[in-house]
């Protein structure tokens, strides 16, 4: 009986593929960590994870009435895209300007802040991201958490995966600008699904 209950729970909850954490220590030291539990293609799964994580960061900013910060983050990433993707040659891997935040090894003390995302693949092939983070100063730390994770993607991903990631983030921006919002909870799945797919936005015909 217990085995059947656990089986139904797993099907509903999905396969726990990975957990990402961004810890902030004193003096704005940030330490990103990625824990893989189930993945046959970590490069591809990292792209999917990053898109869902970014969508959740924008949603959380909107929930905290920080839509101006969310739009500034989108504009900044538009600029990053133009730096990464070039007409010829491999993608560039710039060091993102993180303001007062620096990256480094974790000190032997507990972090002052932690932002964590648990990523699941559901039975139908879709994905879900469970997010939790420290409360306070979200207008600074939420964007910083994503940019720290994005920098780790720049440092670790191979060229094809990095190019796809930048392309998907651009498509996510196009989706949000077409929808004109990113605070509706349905965009947490519809936005990434569009960004990771091949569907194109159908422009309305003039009347």
pLDDT tops 80 at residue 80: yes
Closest CA to 95 of 29, 153, 141, 138: 153
pLDDT of residue 167: 94
The secondary structure of residue 28, as a DSSP letter, is G
pLDDT of residue 182: 67
Residue 121 near residue 12, CB atoms below 8 Å: no
pLDDT of residue 5: 40
Query: pTM to 2 decimals?
Result: 0.87
Q: Where are the domains of the chain?
A: 13-196
**Residues β-bridged to residue 116:** 21, 132
pLDDT of residue 201: 67
The secondary structure of residue 107, as a DSSP letter, is P
Query: What is the DSSP track for 36-68?
Result: ESS-S-HHHHHHHHHHHHHHHHHHHHHHTT-HH
Give the angle 129-133-138 at the CA atoms, nearest 5°. 115
pLDDT for 9-24, tens place per residue?
444 568 999 999 999 9
pLDDT for 127-176, tens place per residue?
899 999 887 788 899 999 999 999 999 999 999 999 999 999 999 999 98
- The three-class DSSP label of residue 36 is strand
Helix, strand, coil percentages for the chain (3-state, nearest 5) = 50, 20, 30
């Amino acid at each position: 009986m217990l085995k059947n209950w656990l089986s139904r729970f797993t099907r509903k909850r999905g396969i726990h593929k990975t957990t990402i954490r961004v810890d902030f220590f004193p003096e704005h030291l940030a330490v990103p960590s990625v824990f893989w539990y189930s993945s046959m293609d970590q490069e591809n799964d990292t792209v999917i994870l990053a898109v869902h994580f970014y969508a959740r960061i924008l949603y959380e900013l909107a929930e905290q009435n920080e839509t101006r910060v969310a739009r500034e983050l989108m504009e900044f990433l538009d600029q990053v895209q133009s730096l990464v993707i070039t007409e010829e040659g491999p993608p560039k891997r710039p060091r993102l300007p993180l303001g007062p935040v620096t990256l480094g090894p974790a000190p032997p003390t507990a972090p002052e802040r932690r932002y964590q995302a648990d990523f699941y693949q559901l039975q139908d092939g879709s994905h879900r991201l469970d997010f939790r983070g420290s409360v306070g100063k979200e207008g600074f730390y939420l964007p910083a958490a994503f940019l720290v994770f994005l920098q780790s993607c720049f440092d670790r991903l191979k060229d094809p995966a990095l190019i796809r990631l930048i392309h998907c983030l651009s498509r996510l921006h196009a989706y949000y600008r077409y929808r004109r919002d990113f605070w509706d909870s349905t965009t947490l799945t519809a936005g990434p699904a569009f960004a990771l797919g091949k569907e194109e936005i159908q422009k309305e015909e003039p009347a």
